């Protein structure tokens, strides 16, 4: 009994591998996200910037909640890891392997948060409120606008908790966040698609230009602030720019 109490006292709090995880998710992962975000400005859209900074804020919040020993910290961190894993799978499906990172990162740390004695001792006895206001509706409405994937997940968790504890507040906020998350996700998808749209005339010119470049394996014709001006970007198999040229719509 005394041995168990000493072990719990020693493991209670942030330390060991938990500290390392917090450092990676608060510092290394956001820095990597920033690098990806600004690595190739020619192909970045407004949607990418909004979603990128939204994702970075989620990563930093996960570390802050764990440090502050919030009762929802572990669940929040696991959601972030699931979001990272789903994003990696999406990029793999689209064939973009340049900066997706290793899917092992979210898998390993999700497993760690699930089996760690330190995590269980430090956060296991912390309980979220079963009445009044709580954090999930607020998180869901905020991220519904800037990172709709997380807004969707947060709103589902919020509605699930409200269904189990009817004295919790935030039902309509959570429902609104669920709807907004879906609408914003669809809107961002179409904005992203339109932001890379180029007329057939420009597309053909860009194709011819990049075809003549032996290093180019793909191309993209991007609109500019001038509706008649487009930026033709030729890229190699690693998605690195090898040539660019401005094209004018006749």
Examine the domain organization and report whether 41 and 98 are in the same domain.
Answer: yes
CA distances from 3 to 12, 243, 246 (A): 14, 67, 72
**Mean pLDDT lowest for which of 16-30, 169-183, 189-203?**
189-203
Examine the domain organization and report whether 73 and 140 are in the same domain.
Answer: yes
Count of domains in the chain? 2
Query: Tokens for 135?
Result: 């954090």
Could you list the residue range(s) of the whole structural domain that residue 22 is in? 2-195
- pLDDT tier at 97 (50, 70, 90 boundaries)? very low
Taking the C-alpha atoms of residue 215 and residue 236, their distance in angstroms, rounded to an integer, is: 6
Q: Quickly count: other Cβ atoms within 10 Å of residue 41's Cβ.
A: 8
**Per-residue pLDDT for 155 more than 60?**
yes
Secondary structure element (H or E) that encloses residue 241, with its range: strand 241-248
**Per-residue pLDDT for 157 more than 50?**
yes
Residue where one domain finishes, among candidates 169, 195, 221: 195
What is the predicted pLDDT for the residue at 114? 94
Q: What is the distance, to the nearest Å, from the Cα of residue 219 to the centroid of all Cα atoms in its chain? A: 26
**Mean pLDDT lowest for which of 26-35, 91-100, 125-134, 142-151?**
91-100
Examine the domain organization and report whether 112 and 210 are in the same domain.
Answer: no
Compute the Cα dihedral for 129, 131, 132, 136 and give only its sign. positive
Residue where one domain finishes, among candidates 150, 177, 195: 195
End-to-end C-alpha distance for the chain, whole angstroms: 83
What is the predicted pLDDT for the residue at 6? 56
Examine the domain organization and report whether 217 and 122 are in the same domain.
Answer: no
What is the predicted pLDDT for the residue at 99? 47
């Amino acid at each position: 009994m005394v041995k168990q109490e000493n072990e719990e006292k020693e493991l209670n709090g942030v330390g060991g591998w938990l500290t390392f995880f917090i450092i990676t998710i608060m510092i290394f992962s956001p820095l990597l996200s920033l690098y990806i975000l600004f690595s190739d400005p020619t192909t970045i859209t407004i949607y990418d910037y909004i979603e990128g900074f939204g994702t970075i804020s989620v990563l930093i919040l996960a570390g802050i909640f764990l440090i502050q020993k919030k009762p929802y910290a572990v669940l929040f961190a696991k959601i972030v890891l699931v979001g990272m894993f789903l994003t990696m799978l999406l990029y793999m499906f689209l064939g973009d392997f340049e900066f997706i990172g290793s899917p092992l990162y979210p898998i390993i740390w999700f497993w760690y948060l699930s089996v760690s004695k330190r995590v269980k001792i430090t956060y296991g006895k912390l309980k979220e409120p079963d009445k009044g206001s709580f954090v999930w509706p607020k998180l869901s409405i905020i991220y519904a606008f800037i990172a709709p994937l997380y807004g969707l997940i947060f709103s589902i968790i919020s509605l699930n908790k409200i269904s189990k504890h009817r004295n919790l507040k935030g039902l309509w906020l959570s429902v609104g966040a669920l709807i907004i998350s879906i609408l914003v996700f669809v809107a961002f998808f179409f904005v992203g698609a339109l932001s890379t749209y180029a007329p057939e005339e420009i597309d053909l010119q860009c194709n011819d230009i990049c075809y003549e470049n032996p290093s180019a394996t793909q191309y993209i014709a991007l609109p500019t602030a001038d509706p008649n001006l487009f930026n033709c970007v030729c890229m190699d198999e690693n998605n690195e720019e090898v040539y660019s040229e401005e094209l004018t719509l006749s």
